[in-house]
A and B are shown apart, each in its own frame.
Chain A
Amino acid sequence: MLARPATAAEPAVQAGADLPGQIRFNEHIRPIFTAHCTACHGGVKQAGDLSFVYRDKVLPPDGWVVEPGAPDESVLIERITSDDPDTIMPPPDHGAPLSDHDIALMTKWIEQGARWVEHWAYEAPVAPQVPDVGATQWPRQPLDRFVLKRLQEEGIRPAPDAPPQRWLRRVHLDLVGLPPAPAQVEAFLADVQQRGEAAYVAAVEDLLDSPHFGERWASPWLDQIRYADSKGLGADGRRNIWKYRDWVISALNRDMPYDQFTIKQIAGDLLPNASIEDHVATAVHRLSQSNEEGGTDDEEFRVAAVLDRVSTTWQAWQGVTFGCVQCHSHPYGPFEHDEFYRFAAFFNNTADSDLNEEYPVVQVPLDRKDDEQASQLDREIGELKHGIWQQEYALLSDAQAWTPLTDLEATSSNATQLRVERDGAHEEFFTEGTVSRNTDITLRAPLPVAAATDSTSDDLQRLTAIRVTIEPHDGEQAMADSEWGFSLSHVTASLLVPGQDEPQALDIARLVIDEPEPFFDPQESLNPKSNRGFAAYSRIHYPRQAALILKQPVEVAEGTRLRVVLKHRVYLLAAFSLISRRGHLAVSDDPRFTELLSDESLRQQRERLAQRQTERSAIPSTAVPVLRERPDHLARPMHVFERGLFLTKGPEVTPGVPASLPPLPDDLPANRLALAHWMVSPQNPLTARVAVNRFWAQLFGIGIVATQEDFGSSGEPPSHPELLDYLALRFQNHFGWSVKRLLRELVLSSTYRQSSKVRPELQERDAQNRMLARGPRHRLPAEVIRDQALAVAGLLSRKPYGPPVHPPIPSGVWRPFVASDKWNTPERGEENRYRRSIYTYTKRSIPYPMFAAFDAPSREFFAPRRLRSNTPLQALMTLNDATFVECAVNLARRMHQSGDTLEAQLTYGFQLVTSRSPRDTELALLLELCADTAAAAEPDTAAEPDTAAERDTAAEPDAAADDEPPAMTAEEQGLVRAAGVLLNLDEFLTK
């Protein structure tokens, strides 16, 4: 038995005086491990094969450092209390020894049985008891009791309710991102007088029903999932994906339950009877950056996109930083290295790659009214295509139908070198070294024609079809590390008959290939004018096959040779030629091929297909990139990447979720759909908590878990753990994942209704207002600041949805890499100049200056939350930017028209921007400003020249000249200055 040194034991006992009665692992013990131990004994580094991240490395039977119930026998205690510098942990050069208090906690934890509890966020929430807060009128909702309980413990009284008009402005800005109009304020105040509480409820109901609700709440979601209208790297060209943004707005407006919202985005394409909308939802994963720069490795950036989808999915839905598991096991979370790749396997088999064309796409009707009809047509077209393909493919893949060719000769039309090798029953060609662009490969081989005397079963009498097989150069390696693919721009076949000078051209009626929904129509390979056709686009993992079906069987004479010419005309990114690098031929005399052409049922199906396709193409649509699975027989395998490097593949893995979380549903195949159901299952401990925390943070400025992006053990613990669990369960169960019902309860709570006045005595204790002893007050998000300015100026367009718009942008900012990418600003008065900010074109490399200045992320990666800065560049923006100048002028006009006296006009303006009437002192200041302006407008007191403004006008005539209406009277000028002040009020820029 090991005896603890008395010197160490002594203080531990003393420190025990203020120990909690029951030691809780997550609260008391895990933080000690994370702070002092896991750097060496964690997920990445497991010195001495010991890790304080995993229970089985610490506790018996496998662990050896802790003996539950027996601190004296626990190596852990021995090591942390040792006075021998060679034995003590942490070692002296790694950090200070544990405090006596920590040692005492650790000792007591072991005494009490060393109960190991997983990190709170990985355990499903348990319904907490709603706290008893005594007799008080303050709580309006159960959630208020959790808040009040905490305040009572701290000895703090909650703040009084904010005046009704302040609450109204707050709730307008929070729910729809627009301020209430003065008339709405007035009506509300009257309603409160009359109906009291019912007036508040009615106001909230109205806002939740507003079509602007979705426009306000889409922004935070689009931050999470890095929405942009451009591709990212390379030329950062336009990406046509705004239909997804509209889908988010519409889903929020319809109050699509959050579980459905989740399922559709993760796996909408795999839902039975998926509609076009369901497909559009998966575009969320096509928001990853792609690289269209010349000479870039398509596979490298495809893989980067897949890994980004994994990280983004974890971040947005699970609030866990999963990205680090890409390179090694999580340093302090219970996630192992290979689990990242098991998770990545869910996403690795989609058909997209890093291509300019953005395939696969779905044609989405421009008019949403056509969605249903188009969905039906698409389903029917899909079924017909698959039905036809299955019959055709059954024949192509029937090995019995084919006779492989030998004695192959292969020649190339240019510098590309070819050789031929025997492989089993056939001979195949290979290219050697690098290939040249636009290569034609000509293949010649004798046909195995039966001589009259020695017929064998392999010989054929006539020819009905030719099979072309194109393979990766290195078949084994290519499954893991795909090669550049091929595109058969044109294929011809002919017979070289002994005694005839001219080759006898074969009439090919149809190509049948091994893929039901290729990006390009394989029949294009028969069209000499088109460069597209049968292809492995853009990568090849497996042998690929096509059958060229002859229009009619052709009788073959003895000694006849077959000649097939494969033309390649496609190269990508100015660098990579899509050329067949290895392949072989086979032939068939099977009459079933010819029958495929004449079969009545097939003929009818093809006809119906063509008909449906014609109907479908009559619906005006726009192509949106989406997810689609590759067919099973062409599935990409997933491997662990050693140290996160995609070229260093480790063992192959199958799709799966981390073992430390609940298992996948067992009644579904392990694909994205199963994953989606797993995320919203009642057992998933994270999804609902992360979601309610995000909604909470939007309203209160900071989450119950402040690190919204990190619910793991390195994140901050929740300020109100029971409140978080209460809300998560209520959201999930009672509200049926309804976001609107959740928000309704939050904004009607007493917690939210409090006055936001800072109490100096609390500022010292709780500057962040984590205890919620006052209402929220912070600078508004970029979009809301702009929309609000447009709204109070009477300029805002309320038109919903549609392609991105291009409001005024300071000249010189829009200088895209590709000059043809234009920013065409609508003229004054045109609606698209004044649309809500959510519709502004979002280019990653050129963020809209106003948004960037006010901390909107540029959407390269998920941005879990915005930091709120307070800078001089913001002041310059709201004082001088063309949009705000235009707003000031229009606000002045609006004020001018609102009343007869300057006082009335200024009062109205003040009400517009603050939702309250000005005090006399405030009005006096504005009046003074107007008077000063009028005085300055007199010719003899004309102000000093302003160099900055002059230079400005000279250099940028279009920016400045049309931003100011023609000559204003002194009175109007005064109002414009006053309007400028109003648009810059702290109270205007702040919730």
Chain B
Amino acid sequence: MNRYPLWKNVLILLVVAAGFYYAAPNLYAPDPALQIAGASSSQQIDERILGRAEAALTSSDIGFFGEVLQDQGKTALIRLTDREQQLRAQAVLARALGDGFIVALNLAPTTPDWLVQGGAAPMKLGLDLSGGVHFKLEVDIAAATERKLAQYESGIKKRLREERIRGRVSIDGGQVAMQFREEADREAARREVVDLYPELFLDRVDAGDDWLLYAQVTEQTMAEVVDYAVAQNLTTIRNRVNELGVSEPLVQRQGRNRIVVELPGIQDTAEAKRILGKVANLEFRLVAEANAPISERQRFEYRSPDRGGMTEWLERDVIITGESVANAQAGFDQNGQPNVMISLDGEGGMMMSRATRANVKRRMGVLFIERKYRTRYEADETGEERPVRIPYDEKLLLTAPVIQSALGAQFQITGLDNPAEASELALMLRAGALAAPITFVEERTVGPSLGAENIQLGMKSVQVGLALVVLFMVAYYRVFGVAAVVALSANLVLLVGIMSLLGATLTLPGIAGIVLTVGMAVDANVLIFARIREEINQGAPPQTAINNGFDRALVTILDANITTLIVAIILYAIGTGPIKGFAVTLSVGIVTSMFSAIMGTRALVNAVYGGRRVRALSIGGLGRPAGGLTETAK
């Protein structure tokens, strides 16, 4: 009795072994490292550049090793021997390599090959442990919807004018209002609007002499507008985050209109915010005629690396800027050729039509403008060299198509080589257009020393908590206590292993969750042991007592844990950041603790007592060896 079949023991051993395997990478402390990437995506990192970096580090007396090229030469990684020198090394490399490169602080994992091959990786540390910045941005929905409404208004105005329908168009409290003198006009207008914007909901109202028509934007359309504005901001912010030189940044949409940005290792929040909040812009200018005086024209390079080095002369006069661009969408024209549809707002449309009417068959260039920084090194009063960042606007040419006819508020750029080029161009146009404004609604910065301290404090509480529980369990439950403690340790290993496997992020509340799990995980064992003691007190022989104890406690354990799991899942659903971490730890902990307490402890107890004659069980009992028929005081 009370013997586990071999397969069950093997299964438990396998699960625990897998737990150890996946938890093991957390034992290897990562190396401080620097990651080098090109400032533009086309920049390749080669041996020559790596050599320059190595020379710079050597001459500054900074120890390094394990330098490699990664991602097909897009990045390079240099490991440092001393963490204290990481910041200095970053400054040295930034100086030596110049503005064309981004040098990011990094922690390179030192997971051995035999672990990497099985897909094992260490847990990521949350910002409260690693130090860094957490931003929460909010996209201004009101502004996005207003823009959309303005776009509808100008579109309708234009169409009515074209169709020679007389009426007044205005924006009135979240809808476009049209006022006509005759019913026939209104009916004609209604047909045009339905044709132009089928997504609008139309409503006819008669007020005295006026025939009114209201065009309402449906909830669904508004939701799409918001979605679009957020998605656009998300793309733009991702691009900008890459400029910051952060390894493993996180840019994530949260809820309806929020974006979370997490930048580990960043301390200079002002700089980060400036780059995230900056607005790229566009300028539409005519391509200068060959005989134009030099004072009226400027030369610009193409942005695309495919046309590397090619330039165009543009006029100095700006037709419109990105602020007038409402939307840009990649698609296909009537001939199935890739194109980009551009919509301007009312004023922009007027400017565009005025500028293009007289210039058909000339070309128009679209400039993409980005604020960039050049770093210069200046000696301060103490003679120490400090980097000084000088802002400048980088203006690069996106495209310069021929104007085929007078343009209005809506026009398309055709003649693109392929759909990829079209979507790239649309993306850049949208990034340059003033997307719905974003505001910072939350910001958390954790200094690196606080992060390190939090890890240390967290680890200490885990150790002390575990030690206290181990002492208590062994003193109170003797041999069974030892079995519970072994199972508890296996539970911890499994918990860490599963969290690593899930790619969960370890946060301070997460560590608190682990500590709490340690305290609560013994509950299942306590329940089982209490039942076994009861059985013995009622005169059951030891083997029967063990068997019944485990069986009877099972239902209780399941009920208790499932309800707790419900709470943990709710916590995950509503929580953000660190709280989510806590919820994940708690949920995983509940599952692993059930496994280890029910199966693990049983296997151990079976191994000790199973399959032989046992006179008494060493399960404590307030100082008296329990077993036999002595009534145990409770």
Instruction: Specify whether A and B are partners.
Output: no
Interface positions of A (Cβ within 8 A of B): none
> B: which residues have CB within 8 A of A?
none
